[in-house]
Amino acid sequence: MPISNSNLEFLRKLDRFMQRIFSYLMICLGALLASFSVICILIPNDAIDYGTAGIAIIISKLTGANLSMCVVLVFIPFLIAGFLVLGRSFGMRALVGTVVYTVGLEIFEKVPFELNTEHFLAVAFGGTILGAGLALILKNGGCIDGSEIFANLVVKRLSARAGRNFSMTYILLVFNACVYMAVFIKINQNAGMLSLLVYVVATSVINHFTDRYEAIKQVTIITKNPDEIVKAIKNDLNKTCTMMDSYGAIAGENKTLICYVNYFELTKMKDILAKNEGTFCTVSTIDEIVK
């Protein structure tokens, strides 16, 4: 018995809803892994997280203030910027991840567990868990660190002025270099070097699972109805596309669109494509765009 159009549309909406629920669950799991690593492994072994979480830990160590409160206060401006610039969908995911992360910090501070072993091994292990947690969050369209949002804002401003796409890599490197210099100077040299090792291990794990999230992404879209997609990309992402005629062995004549975005804009792009049935797309990593 064939499925009616109304039932088919209902099943599609249900599938998108279940995918959304699954992504939020993965963000929560990733946030708990990250908070566990920070409280139970990294901080007891004289290392800290990177990005804005690292700034919050430095403030907490120097002032004696509650770590969860420091994380919230440091991240709030970036979270607001994420809502305004990257949209409600990203903002909600970032908000959920941040809430779970801060609650996780409070919970694990009360858990009587610390990994007491050689600092180097503990930091390598902790960095791996931290990277796995952050990779889960990023893969599902979330974020619990303001440095990525800051880098995205800078890239958007540079792209608007120069008319070309830029990678977030160097901005993140400079941001985190400043964090580790502060650790090196204000806390101690061992903490600075161990924290740098955390960054190397964690980002290696993240890049493995996200295909270098800080790099430019090329989205190749094949569709029979390009007009609505091009309009949505222009309105929602303020991006343009390259459009080419193409031909499918089964589908016949269609259009191929090529658009360049950053990792945090992929969630919006997926939302746009989800509203256009029969659209096929691939995402690849681009090291450099030369004009």
Do 230 and 157 belong together in one domain? no
Quick one: pLDDT band at residue 101, thresholds 50, 70, 90?
Answer: very high
CA angle 263, 230, 241 (to 5 degrees): 65
Please check whether residue 62 lies inside any domain of the structure.
Answer: yes
- Are 126 and 197 spatial neighbours (Cβ–Cβ below 8 Å)? no
DSSP helix/strand/coil, 241: coil
Q: Each residue of 125-149: pLDDT tens digit?
A: 999 999 999 999 988 888 888 888 8
pLDDT in the model for residue 8: 63
* Spatial CB neighbours of 167, under 8 Å, sequence gap ≥ 6: 155, 214, 215, 216, 287, 288
Quick one: pLDDT band at residue 219, thresholds 50, 70, 90?
Answer: very high
Do 233 and 169 belong together in one domain? no
> Structurally, how many domains does the chain consist of?
2
Do 205 and 249 belong together in one domain? no
Which residue among 144, 177, 210 closes a domain?
210
Do 185 and 232 belong together in one domain? no
- The mean pLDDT of the chain is 85
Please check whether residue 55 lies inside any domain of the structure.
Answer: yes
Which residue among 163, 186, 210 closes a domain?
210
Please check whether residue 29 lies inside any domain of the structure.
Answer: yes
Please check whether residue 291 lies inside any domain of the structure.
Answer: no
Closest by Cα among 124, 112, 98, 139 to 37: 124
C-alpha 133/C-alpha 155 separation (Å) is 25
Which residue among 158, 183, 210 closes a domain?
210
Please check whether residue 142 lies inside any domain of the structure.
Answer: yes
Do 176 and 281 belong together in one domain? no
Do 203 and 225 belong together in one domain? no
Do 235 and 128 belong together in one domain? no
Do 24 and 76 belong together in one domain? yes
Q: Which amino acid is at 155?
A: V
pLDDT in the model for residue 32: 95
Express as a percent the part of the chain with pLDDT over 90: 24
Residue 216: beta bridge partners?
286
Do 119 and 206 belong together in one domain? yes
Question: Phi and psi at residue 141, in whole multiples of 5°?
Answer: 80, 15
Task: Report the CATH number at residue 261.
Answer: 3.30.70.120
What does the pLDDT average to over 183-208?
88
Least confident of 10-14, 109-113, 132-136: 10-14
C-alpha 148/C-alpha 153 separation (Å) is 9
Neighbours of 198 (CB within 10 A): 27
Please check whether residue 98 lies inside any domain of the structure.
Answer: yes
At which residue do the structure tokens 């403030």 appear? 59
Q: How far from the centroid of its chain's Cα atoms is residue 101's Cα?
A: 14
DSSP helix/strand/coil, 247: strand
CA angle 228, 232, 207 (to 5 degrees): 120
Query: Taking the model in full, what pTM does it have?
Result: 0.84
Do 163 and 186 belong together in one domain? yes
Pairing of strands 216-223, 280-286: antiparallel
Do 137 and 266 belong together in one domain? no
Quick one: pLDDT band at residue 102, thresholds 50, 70, 90?
Answer: very high
Do 142 and 279 belong together in one domain? no
pLDDT in the model for residue 291: 65
- Boundaries of domain holding 103: 5-210
